[in-house]
Structure 1
Amino acid sequence: MDSLTAEQIAERIWLSIAERRLRPGVRLKETELAEVFGVSRARVRQVLAILAREGLITSEVNKGAFVAEPGVEDARDIFHVRRTVEQRVLERLIDRLDDEKVATIRDHVEQERVANTQNDQRAIIKLSGGFHQMLADMSDAEFLSRLMRDLISRSSLITAAFRNSDQYNCGPDEHDEILLHLQNGDLKQAKKAMAHHLDHVEKELRLSGERDSIRSLKDVLLPQG
């Protein structure tokens, strides 16, 4: 029996991409993935289907699945769309924000600070994307929530491909500023802070240059000692 769900495996692969350990263009062999995770090839195919829906892999006939290789214009497109979507999220959220939601978001930002202090890159990546997803979920807009989940996955691939540094930091201080404006009911300043934040993230990308590759999926996907 498969010990891991397809969603659990997909998340581990997503994190490996976001952490820049699994690089764009790397082939994902079904047999090797099945061996690494101790699951059936049928489960692996479910995983690949999830990753394909999220735009993280591409498939080629008679060649198999590969980590997607976004281009420079793809990167710019993703951030262009994110700017529009996240502005709309703020518009929907500001009138739905209550004390409980504020406390939940603030606790999340504090977790980001702890992760940054400990330089826990895995936690930083998950929490950074989680902040933006949380705002979308709290906006009570199912379409925006689904759209943000897709955009966050694709943004992880973009940052893995083009980030200048191995250190990933979406910015708890900037997240805190966005929350402060929302809490004060100042939509204009919240939107301005979000736009500045996304500009900052995009400017950290090096939208040119060569990309590295890896030698073995086992080196990347097996738990680190």
Structure 2
Amino acid sequence: MALRSGVRLDTVVIAHREPRIEASLEAELLHGQVPVRRLSDRVAAAVLGCEKRPRVLAVGRRPLPCTLDALARRTGDIVVLDGVRLVGNIGAIIRSASARGAAGVVLVDPGPVAVHDRRVVRASRGLVFALPVVIADRDDLRRFLQSSDIPLVSLTATAAVPLAGLAAVPRRVTLLLGGERRGSSRELEDLAEHRFAVPMASAVESLNVSVVGALALFVRRGP
């Protein structure tokens, strides 16, 4: 996915022998003129460990950071993750956003998570290289929303309007998702023009943020 998205790879290392993987990779990498190296099972185990050993590694040039203004020039809705720090959730939302043609994802207060953290790459199935992901603070996002005239839509369990109403918003929007513990910040919540909630059975307290994000993206774009 990195190669298909224009990332420059200097070399690829195959650390697990599997003929099907090697054949398909080599065909694509040969076309891109990327050198391929192999590690023996003994060396791979010594260097990478025995548990959750990656099958393929690559050394490449990190893509240039994307900006909020660049997202405004793209088509599709924008997803904002406010205080979402679990890399699995971030990667899953990037994957859903890519599937539904979103313009990009904005990470606000993601903690120490880097955009191209290997865990984000794995959780997004490499789509973090295909979809713009921006790290921004809340002041930058507030200025962006005001200047771009893209309405902010909050997805919160306390909203009175069910999620199905999201499909009726006529313009492209910015979808706000907060961390599961604290939700989105009051600073950004106060900027929301619309608020929607996922209807749930009374015995269920909350949903995983990546599930809410996927539901919203699919409701938003329709069938």
When normalised by structure 2's length, the TM-score is 0.29
- Pick the structure with greater CA Rg: 2
Higher normalized strand content (fraction of residues): 2
Q: Which structure has the higher relative contact order (CA within 8 Å, separation 6+)?
A: 1
